Structure 1
Amino acid sequence: MDIDAHLDVLDREGGLLADAAAATDPAAPVPTCPDWLLRDLVVHTGRVHRWAGAYVTRGHTAPLDDDATAALWGPEPSDADLVDWFRAGHADLLAALRNAPADLDCWTFLPAPSPLAFWARRQAHETAVHRHDAEAAAGLAGPRLATEPALDGIDELLRGMLARPRTRLRSERPRTVAVRATDGPGTWLATIGPDPLTVELRDAPADLVLTGPARDLYLLLWNRLRPDAVECEGDRALLDLWRERAAIG
């Protein structure tokens, strides 16, 4: 996916998240994030949008410290202002990314073709996952993520987010998980071991094989769907390990 395609996803998913929040009590629990109410989810995502937008608009080349980040966020919105506050931050982020120069230089935390490509992709998937959370809180079933962005999101999670040194997804002995999308080419072969996750783009026997549509695998790997949403063959205890440790804080 190119930058424009990621921005289209960010635009759509943020709008759907806001629509779900507007139709729901801010005190509604979020089933997919058991420690959160809907207001917590919306505030979190809105703050992430403002945080990401600051790197794009201000060209920060190092991570912002806690005081600078808190200053970006400002006071927490009231329940009455929550959705409008979210929409404003989402619109500002989209405008920042759409107006940024191709040679943008700023801090990132995953490999990418460019900082602009990184932030467009990361915020598209941040927002898509939390759109699903907001709809879960609202008791809604919105449109599913299309195949191409779902495949892209699986790749970002496996080869990016969970491959970082800080990941908690570890095992004393190497164990493998194959992820096969029925609506896309190729297979991700992930090895969980004492070191950070390693991923190869090849098909091979694995301790656990997950097969299904990309949109379902995407949400399953982000711990948003139950394991029975896809076909699971092999050591299902690996799914328990995944659900416990493949969490992004």
Structure 2
Amino acid sequence: MEITAHIDALRLEGTRLAEAAARTDLAAPVPTCPEWQLGDLLRHIGYVHRWATATLSKGLPAPMDEADAQAAVGPMPDDAALLDWYRAGHAALVDALTRAPADTECWSFLAAPSPLAFWARRQAHETAVHRHDADEAAGLPGPAVDTALALDGIDELVRAFMSRSRSTLRSERPRTLRIRATDGPGSWLVTITQEPPAVTTDESPEPADLTLTGPARVLYLLLWNRLTAEQAPEVERAGDPDLLDLWRDAATVRWS
């Protein structure tokens, strides 16, 4: 996806998140984030948007420490002002990404063609996944993410996050997970060992221990641990079901 497409996705998904929050009590539990209420979700995503905006707009060469991050984000609002605060932070991030020069230099933490490309992509998916969380809190399914965004989000998760040394996805014996999208050019083979997972995108004829095949929009939420296998009947599972349990337990995303 191009940077402009990621910014458009961020704009759309952030607006959808606000719409879900506007029709829901802030004390509503978030089933996909069991420790959170909706207000916690809004504070989290509002914080992240402001943190990303400051990093990008100030051209920071390293991550902010906690004190600097708190100063950049500012005080947390009370419940009455929370939704407007979230909307303002989302708008500021979209504006910062739109205005940033292509050669902007700043800190980032995943491989990308440029820092601007990294931040546009990361914030698009951060917001899209949490928009699903807000829909869950509202108790109503929202519109599915665009297929291109879903394919891109699967790629970011498996090739960027899971292959890092910080990834906790490990297995004492080698195991392979193949992911196949049925509605776009998406195929990934993840080899899980005691080392950081190795990921290839070639369509090998070799069988995997578990193959997941289905629409990108469903695979996206399943792999980001927003759906259980039972909630994703559109995804065909061929092979060892225990491997999906390992994914749910160990495929966690860590910032920085």
The question of 1:208 aligning with 2:210 is answered: yes
**Equivalent residue, structure 1, for 2:17:** 17
Instruction: Check the 8 A contact 1:209/1:233 in 2, yes or no.
Output: yes
Q: Distance in 2 between matches of 1:41 and 1:47?
A: 10
Work out the number of aligned pairs and report it.
Answer: 249
The question of 1:88 aligning with 2:88 is answered: yes
**Equivalent residue, structure 2, for 1:246:** 251
- Scaled by the length of structure 1, what TM-score is found? 0.98
**Equivalent residue, structure 2, for 1:187:** 187
Cα offset, 1:186, TM superposition: 4.1
Cα offset, 1:174, TM superposition: 1.2
The question of 1:236 aligning with 2:241 is answered: yes
Q: Distance in 1 between matches of 2:137 and 2:159?
A: 29
**Equivalent residue, structure 1, for 2:148:** 148
Cα offset, 1:192, TM superposition: 1.1
Structure 1 alignment gaps of length 5 or more: none
Cα offset, 1:165, TM superposition: 1.1
Q: Distance in 1 between matches of 2:8 and 2:32?
A: 25
Q: Distance in 2 between matches of 1:247 and 1:23?
A: 30
Percentage of matched positions with identical amino acids: 63
Structure 2 alignment gaps of length 5 or more: none
Supply the RMSD in Å over aligned alpha carbons: 0.9
Cα offset, 1:218, TM superposition: 0.3
Cα offset, 1:73, TM superposition: 2.1
Q: Distance in 2 between matches of 1:178 and 1:71?
A: 43
Pick closer, same or farther for the CA change 1:70–1:217 going to 2, 3 Å. same
**Equivalent residue, structure 2, for 1:52:** 52
Pick closer, same or farther for the CA change 1:152–1:186 going to 2, 3 Å. closer
Instruction: Check the 8 A contact 2:165/2:196 in 1, yes or no.
Output: yes
Map 1:1-249 to 2 at 5 A.
1-203=1-203, 204-228=206-230, 229=232, 230-249=235-254
Find runs of 4+ consecutive structure 1 residues off by over 6 angstroms.
none
Q: Distance in 2 between matches of 1:162 and 1:77?
A: 34
- Scaled by the length of structure 2, what TM-score is found? 0.95
Q: Distance in 1 between matches of 2:249 and 2:125?
A: 21
Q: Distance in 1 between matches of 2:198 and 2:42?
A: 32
Q: Distance in 1 between matches of 2:106 and 2:165?
A: 21
Q: Distance in 2 between matches of 1:186 and 1:73?
A: 37
